[in-house]
């Protein structure tokens, strides 16, 4: 297990769609709720909630919730260039960078989560847990934007089902 980089990981997927649509999937509450979250709120620097159809920008904060989980993730948008790069804090002091590149008719989504602490709890819950979660949600992003099928379980009676 010494060869594993516990401080970061990268996941990559190609999604058929426009660069604008895939960027909006990360930057607009209304779009994030289509494939990723049950509730997504972005706030400007004065803590005013952004309209669901307005893209978050650098300096915004967020509060996110998932189906079947009680936790609310809070963090900050570090960089949002409005085109092909969106970066935010996640799971404490971790940073998630989402880089988008057009290749033919597809947008390659390159997600890196970094700055992961190396204590045992973080290795299991952040490095391994978030890696698993992002893998699922990237597949769901592809599914929703290419065919419309949302793979998330939403029935509250099914807590513990694979949703990340």
pTM (2 d.p.): 0.95
Q: Give the residue ranges of DSSP H helices in the chain.
A: 19-27, 29-35, 120-122, 129-147
The whole-angstrom separation of Cα 158 and Cα 164 is 13
Instruction: Give tens-digit pLDDT for 83-107.
Output: 999 999 999 999 999 999 999 999 9
Count of other CB atoms within 10 angstroms of residue 109: 21
Instruction: Give tens-digit pLDDT for 8-51.
Output: 999 999 999 999 999 999 999 999 999 999 999 999 999 999 99
* Cβ partners under 8 Å of residue 147, min gap 6: none
Count of other CB atoms within 10 angstroms of residue 1: 5
Residue 43 pairs with which residues in a beta bridge?
Answer: 49, 61
Element (H, E) at 92: none
Which domains, and CATH codes, for the chain?
A: 9-149 (3.30.530.20)
């Amino acid at each position: 297990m010494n060869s594993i980089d516990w401080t970061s990981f990268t996941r990559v997927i190609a999604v058929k769609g426009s660069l604008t649509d895939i960027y909006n999937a990360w930057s607009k509450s209304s779009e994030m709720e289509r494939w990723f979250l049950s509730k997504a709120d972005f706030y400007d620097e004065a803590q005013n909630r952004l309209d669901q159809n307005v893209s978050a920008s650098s300096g915004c904060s967020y509060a996110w919730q998932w189906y079947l989980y009680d936790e609310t993730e809070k963090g900050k948008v570090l960089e949002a260039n409005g085109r092909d790069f969106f970066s935010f804090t996640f799971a404490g002091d971790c940073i998630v960078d989402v880089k988008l590149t057009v290749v033919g008719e597809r947008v390659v989504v390159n997600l890196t989560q970094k700055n992961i602490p190396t204590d045992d709890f973080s290795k299991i819950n952040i490095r391994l847990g978030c890696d698993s979660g992002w893998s699922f949600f990237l597949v769901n992003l592809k599914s929703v934007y290419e065919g419309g099928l949302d793979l998330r379980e939403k029935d509250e009676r099914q807590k513990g089902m694979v949703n990340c």
